[in-house]
Structure 1
Amino acid sequence: MKHFINFLSFSLIWMIPSLATGQATLEAVKTDQPILIDAILDEAVWNQAVPYTDFTSYMPDFGRRVPQETTARLSYDAENLYFAFECIDPEPERIKANVTERDGMMADDWICINLDPRFDQQALNAFYVNPFGIQRDTRYAAGNEDASIDLVWYSAGRLTENGYIVEVQIPLKSLRFRAKNPVSMGILLERYISRTATNIVFPALDPAMGYNLLPQLLRVDYQDVKHYTLFEAIPAVTYTHRDRHVNGELTKEFRQPDLSLTLKYGITSDLVLDAAINPDFSQIEADAGQVDINLRHSLYYPEKRPFFLEGREKFKIGATVASYVDPLQLVVHTRTIVNPIAGVKFTGNLDRRNSIALLYAADDLGRLSDTTPRQFAHFPVFRYKHNLKDDGFAGFLYTGREAGESGNRVVGTDAQIRINKSTLLEYHLLGSNQTDQLGSRNSYAAGFYWHSETRNFDYAFTLKDIGKDFQVETGYLTRTGISQATGLVKKKFYTTSNVFRRFDLEAFSSASFDRFYSKWETYNEASLLARIGGTFQFKTKYNLSNEVFLGNVFNTSGIHAAIQGRYKTWFSGNITVRRINAIYYSTNPFGGISNRGSISATLQPWPKFETAFSLTYNDFTKKGADDYLYRYRIARTRLTFQFNKYLFIRAILEYNDYYKELLTDLLISFNYIPGTVFYLGYGSLFEQTDAGQPFYGGEVKPIEMQRGFFLKLSYLFRK
């Protein structure tokens, strides 16, 4: 370990911090005339703007021309950035476009503006728009694209006789950029043709750099734009009404009206303070059901609560989620904050190379009894990053959870260093301190990740070492006391056929040492992925593996297959099946056979209506036995009618066959812009209490165990 730390320190010393100069530029034409966002493009500025037409593919292959011609133009004024796209299609009737909720249009045709507002190659905002003007926005940083952010911007789209047109307005208030003149930003323009699953971009991506976008953006200079000190206030009113079944009838559980206020203040155009007073941390849709039995570690649920979403990519550290078997997924996972009563965030850039992020939340743990005081947990998180060459960085992180006399603190450093066009080195070195009724314990986690990606070949290596007592109560950690080495190679084969367009052949291997029981385990996998026709993919893989659990080594080998695709513009689906050797996790574990599978399908017979169905299956049979130890099935149906881009109504039915429970959800949602919303929801939970009866149709009827509705109204004031 000592040599490992010395090597990482040396790596940081010899990498000289610098930022790319970005000599290649695009031109945006400044205008002092108003631009109406209507996808008509009749303003004079669009005739003056430079047309950019040299779009080439990067998926499924690099550098290919497509018959779908694209023209993009850029403009701006003192307060906004403007973009116009004319997307020609020789078969316009095959363009896929639907009126969906915000963020729900990725299966359609679309354009995307990839924008690095600081042009520091550390992160970018992606603004997606489909042919009807439906939006999606994401934040890309450290190799991960986060779709949870919601910025304020405007778009319009319309179908034409030979394709579609999109027009976009991005207020500078919605971006974090340097306080200088001119303001330089990085841009990559993109279009997706859904029926052939082809992505085209301008400028062209370098095959030697693979899909590493950040170093490949072109610079755009914006002269004499306003530098805002943003102020936003979102007052919200919520009301929750919930009943629970007690002693044979539904009785009042609680009626809770509430007021909240969320504030955002831009100290500079690049440094923002957020505060929430009695915040609304509710999520408007229940998490989809997951198989929650026979688990070695807790299930992962994504964050959906608005306050925690913006800026969370800043807390992603290097060399996490580095392989299929990586135990350390997240150091900061805010779903561990269950019932927060207040929160503060401070995020932004101190100068062109240094950035910070601070998060604090107070979590209400409730009372142990009616006579004890209410207890709270406090979550302080601090993150510092220093930009290195290209998209590299070196960082520091502190995260903690303090609850009375118990506490968990994690502190450490990490880095991402670009070695060459295609190769990145990442590492983290963390120390933890845990205090509780057992005393105080210190431990560590170290990770090293070397990975390379090009057009034809990918490879990766990882080294991980996690101490027995390492804990990160603010994160998501699946295992401790393990040392691990992994390797991956992937070869990509391209064809000129319209049927089998590309094959990916991949091999992955890991060796892990369980330090609790001093035993080795391995996971070896070979897979083949075929891209068939325009939208179909088929993947099959076999893994030869075993796993250490409570001192025993169990066989976990198995075979997997999956297919996904789309038919015309109205149907898409996927099927996954697995048959594996598995472990029954208990105090007396044993091996067995598990069959697992899932089916999902989405139908969009009309542009404003969507129905989605999914079925999840999992079973387990002890080796040598004839009967199933358990069979677990979850069926979920979601129906959505979208009146326009702002208003939809949605119904969800989810049946859990294992627990014999039926969940119903009904939601009316009006989302004008992020922050200005109205939600009205209703839900109930029915349960068959007699294990020997079918859910419905037997002598014992299902009982409504819970019922409730909620209302939320909020409004964004922006200055």
Structure 2
Amino acid sequence: MQKLSCSSFILLISIITSSEVCASSKASELTVKVPAASQSQNLTIPYQQNTINIDGDLSDDMWQNALSVSLDIVNSPWDNLPSPIKTTAKIIENGKYIYIAFIANDPDPKKIQGFLGDRDTKWFDDIVGIKLDPHNNRRLNYEFFVNPFGVQNDAIFNEITGEANDLWDGIWYSYGKITEHGYQVEMAIPYSILNFEENNEEKKWAIELVRSYPRETRLRISHVPLDRNNPCWLCQYPEAVGFKNAKTGTNLRLTPAVTASSAQSKDIYNPQSNWDKDNDIEAGIDLRWGIDANTSLNATINPDFSTVEADAGQLSVNKTFSLFYNEKRAFFLDNTDYFKSNYDLVYTRNIADPDYGAKLTGRSDEHSYGMFITNDTETNFVMPGNLSANIASLSQESHSSALRYRYDHNDNLSVGAISTLRKSDDYHNYLAGLDGKYRINNSNWFRAQLLSSQTQYPEDLDSNFCGEDLSSCPFAEQALRSQQEDEFTDQAIKLDFNHDSEYWLAHVGHENIGEDFRADLGYMTKVDLQKSQASIGRRFYSEQGSLWQEAKLSGRWHIIENENSEFIERYLSTNFEIDGPKQLYTDIRLSHAEKVGLRHDNTVLTIDGNTNQFTENQINVYVKARPHPRFYMSVDMTLGDKIDYYNDRLGDLQELSTNLTWNVTNHLEIDITHTLSQLEADNHNPKFDDNVYTANLTDVRISYQFDVRSYLKLSLVYTDIDRNKYNNPKINVSEKSNNLSSQLIYAYKVNPQTVFFLGYSDNSYQDDYLNDLEREERTFFTKLSYSWMP
């Protein structure tokens, strides 16, 4: 399921936003080493005091004085070959905004892949945009892209982590329209949403102008040639020169919000029960203040996060570790890249219902820093293990905070420090650590991180997971690891070496996470382990006009043991990936894994002699394609052996996930994902079949986009899990477990902060004691927020 909803999307973001790991250079005050080829392509940006009306019409007088740039190079998947289509960009600024226009010609405008949709949902469309690094230190850049209907897609790419964060939303302006010769786009990006060194001097910002042209294959068209032997695309960009009068202005934004809801629930096992109602009206306010061009303060009081879009459905059957969900809340997403490191140490979905929060982020020369603090009315965190993990919840308020600092010593060396805190009445978790990245040359670099934690648990935390009898408790590992009478400390270390050149990729890594190490503000589900891993890959490229563009053959190995060197897992796989016609991407993986099951005796954490070892041989085939401009489809199939964890045996897995996205019209989109997972194991009772469970998950999203600002969306997530109680000998199971969650929401968004929501959601459940799905919860809600910027 997760692969269908995310992996192909992340692959595309990586191509468009250069989410490859990039080499580094000093902060903007220092001299940046720009390749000679890029220097010759530097762009001098004109300045004019007038303004431009963003309406898709390029007749404004100011455009006549703009710099024109031809995007005539295909730098992916082709190797800097001439573009088959004409694209012209115009760029000019007025001290408050940088204006960009694109004239994207198309020989057959009917084949343009562009549709109306919500923000950040149209990365697969025809899009044009700009990538901008205002600090010019080749470590972080903003991405602003627009499709032919003016739908905005934006992101921030962090070179240190090699990740593009498309969840970030800036407030900027755009308009797009299809013409008889293709389409054209206007953009206005206010300097108030950028971080840069504000002064009255001429500035140099790394820049690239990009067009993504999806037809038989997806062509990445630019004005910049890129060296395949250097994975750092950001490092190869030329500079935009000018911006002498660039000012961020007052850069103050206040967003008051009012939320009203009526939540209802009832006892579905009592036919006579009535609905219990809880009506609530809440008011809150968010503040974002750009103290200067490099420093931002965010604050929130009584925020309401209940009206975000429903999370994608995930199957949890036969999984022993807690699931991951993306953050969607604006307060946490703004400048979240400042808190990234090698481990996921700041997972803000742990902060469930904060009363208030404050965050300060900034950059000065070669120094960058971020810090935040929140008060949460709940206390939730992951209780980790080496064979399983689950969520712990305390009925008490808590404070959470994080501090992150990074120093960019020179082009090749960056070092950082991070600290996090979770604290309530009789519980705390403190974490501190150092990390760094050293680039040997364009293709080789090291990363390292060392962490230490100190934790204190409440005396009765183990009751969160089990009663007095641990022997039959499925969460016994979490109960045992929570039985700590005093403060306890431990460490974690992670080391990586990476090679990425034109034809070869390689990675060698080692990590060691102590059994008493905790990162309760992060998403670290595993402790008490040491892992060594290695991978190698070879790329192949085709000639222009071939049926395929790029292929990769790779292999991966890792071994995992606990701190006492007790065996947990050994894994070996080989992958073959290839890009073909109709935007066809195929990934075939063969894997061999030796793993242990769950413990026989739950009352101890020993693995040797306390677990059985199994061998899993699997084949996984993942295919995605766009056979028609209005259809996107993918299939993810896994066949082979799979451990039946709770019955401690090896089973036969058949899992199939399919996804179809159909743009019925330019306004109406239907997105359907279905996952079928079936596990069979030998049933020693000949009267009954071998089925252990059959799980179906269907996730349907139907949205009608009236225009770029408003939409109506229906979300349905249905899970149907049937278990064979006659072939689950070691656990008591419900034969039937069905759940249906639905949400209907109307949204009107002037920008990401000025919004109106009106919605309804409910949840229905069915098990062996209920003949039909019974609705147990329903909620009516509305929210209005207005972003005021003086």
Shift of 1:374: 7.2
Amino acid paired to 1:473: D
Which is worse superposed, 211-220 or 544-553?
A: 211-220
1:110–1:128 contact (8 Å) kept in structure 2: yes
Give 1:636's aligned residue. 699
Amino acid paired to 2:371: L
Q: Indicate which of 141, 144, 152 corresponds to 1:127.
A: 144
Give 1:280's aligned residue. 304
Q: Indicate which of 346, 355, 362 corresponds to 1:348.
A: 362
Shift of 1:210: 2.5
Give 1:662's aligned residue. 740
Matches within 5 A, 1:49-64: 49-64=66-81
1:574–1:601 contact (8 Å) kept in structure 2: yes
Deviation string for 1:555-601 (max 9, x for gaps)? Answer: 23311001100122111110000023222334x63322222221010
Give 1:188's aligned residue. 208
Give 1:688's aligned residue. 766
SS at the partner of 1:657? strand
Amino acid paired to 1:713: L
1:466–1:483 contact (8 Å) kept in structure 2: yes
How many pairs align?
681
Which is worse superposed, 197-206 or 543-552?
A: 543-552
Which is worse superposed, 198-207 or 53-62?
A: 53-62
Shift of 1:606: 0.9
Shift of 1:361: 1.0
Shift of 1:58: 3.0
Q: Does 1:331 align with 2:378?
A: no
Q: Indicate which of 51, 60, 65 corresponds to 1:34.
A: 51
Matches within 5 A, 1:83-122: 83-122=100-139
Shift of 1:417: 2.2
Provide closer, same or farther for how the CA distance between residues 391 and 183 of structure 1 changes in structure 2, counting only shifts above 3 A: farther
Which is worse superposed, 634-643 or 247-256?
A: 247-256
Q: Indicate which of 602, 607, 631 corresponds to 1:571.
A: 631
1:294–1:584 contact (8 Å) kept in structure 2: yes
SS at the partner of 2:275? strand
1:122–1:387 contact (8 Å) kept in structure 2: no
Question: 2: CA distance between counterparts of 1:224 and 1:16?
Answer: 23
**Identity over aligned residues, as a percent?**
26
SS at the partner of 2:110? helix
Amino acid paired to 1:565: A
Q: Indicate which of 73, 95, 118 corresponds to 2:90.
A: 73
Q: Indicate which of 732, 750, 754 corresponds to 1:676.
A: 754
Q: Does 1:289 align with 2:313?
A: yes
Bigger strand share: 1
Provide closer, same or farther for how the CA distance between residues 390 and 26 of structure 1 changes in structure 2, counting only shifts above 3 A: farther
Q: Indicate which of 487, 499, 503 corresponds to 2:551.
A: 503
Question: 2: CA distance between counterparts of 1:542 and 1:465?
Answer: 27
Q: Does 1:583 align with 2:596?
A: no
Q: Indicate which of 587, 605, 610 corresponds to 1:539.
A: 587
Matches within 5 A, 1:14-29: 20-22=32-34, 24=39, 25-29=42-46
Amino acid paired to 2:330: P
Q: Indicate which of 332, 337, 340 corresponds to 1:308.
A: 332
Deviation string for 1:122-141 (max 9, x for gaps)? Answer: 21110010011110111111
Give 2:675's aligned residue. 616
Shift of 1:644: 0.5
Shift of 1:266: 1.7
Question: 1: CA distance between counterparts of 2:557 and 2:703?
Answer: 43
Amino acid paired to 1:165: Q
Question: 2: CA distance between counterparts of 1:448 and 1:173?
Answer: 38
1:177–1:183 contact (8 Å) kept in structure 2: no
Give 2:286's aligned residue. 262
2:558–2:570 contact (8 Å) kept in structure 1: yes
Q: Does 1:362 align with 2:375?
A: yes
Shift of 1:366: 8.4
Question: 2: CA distance between counterparts of 1:288 and 1:225?
Answer: 41
Question: 2: CA distance between counterparts of 1:250 and 1:170?
Answer: 53
SS at the partner of 2:704? strand
Question: 1: CA distance between counterparts of 2:754 and 2:367?
Answer: 33
Provide closer, same or farther for how the CA distance between residues 19 and 460 of structure 1 changes in structure 2, counting only shifts above 3 A: farther
Provide closer, same or farther for how the CA distance between residues 16 and 611 of structure 1 changes in structure 2, counting only shifts above 3 A: closer
Give 1:710's aligned residue. 781
Matches within 5 A, 1:595-614: 595-614=654-673
Deviation string for 1:489-522 (max 9, x for gaps)? Answer: 1111111243222211111111222225622631
Give 2:524's aligned residue. 477
Q: Does 1:592 align with 2:651?
A: yes
1:19–1:389 contact (8 Å) kept in structure 2: no
Matches within 5 A, 1:393-412: 393-412=414-433
Give 2:341's aligned residue. 317
1:282–1:305 contact (8 Å) kept in structure 2: no
RMSD value, Cα: 2.1
Deviation string for 1:34-75 (max 9, x for gaps)? Answer: 211122211233333332214322322331223122111210
Give 2:446's aligned residue. 425
Give 2:253's aligned residue. 232
Shift of 1:454: 2.6
Give 1:171's aligned residue. 190
Question: 2: CA distance between counterparts of 1:166 and 1:431?
Answer: 50
Question: 2: CA distance between counterparts of 1:491 and 1:16?
Answer: 32
Shift of 1:637: 1.4
2:198–2:246 contact (8 Å) kept in structure 1: no
Give 1:370's aligned residue. none
Shift of 1:333: 0.4
Which is worse superposed, 174-183 or 611-620?
A: 174-183
Give 1:241's aligned residue. 262
After the TM superposition, which parts of structure 1 deviate over 4 Å for at least 4 consecutive aligned residues?
15-19, 623-626
Question: 1: CA distance between counterparts of 2:504 and 2:237?
Answer: 19
Amino acid paired to 2:503: N
SS at the partner of 1:173? helix
Give 2:435's aligned residue. 414
Shift of 1:222: 0.9
Shift of 1:21: 4.7
1:353–1:387 contact (8 Å) kept in structure 2: yes
Q: Indicate which of 151, 156, 160 corresponds to 2:170.
A: 151
Amino acid paired to 2:66: A
1:417–1:426 contact (8 Å) kept in structure 2: yes
Question: 2: CA distance between counterparts of 1:359 and 1:463?
Answer: 31
Question: 2: CA distance between counterparts of 1:87 and 1:300?
Answer: 39
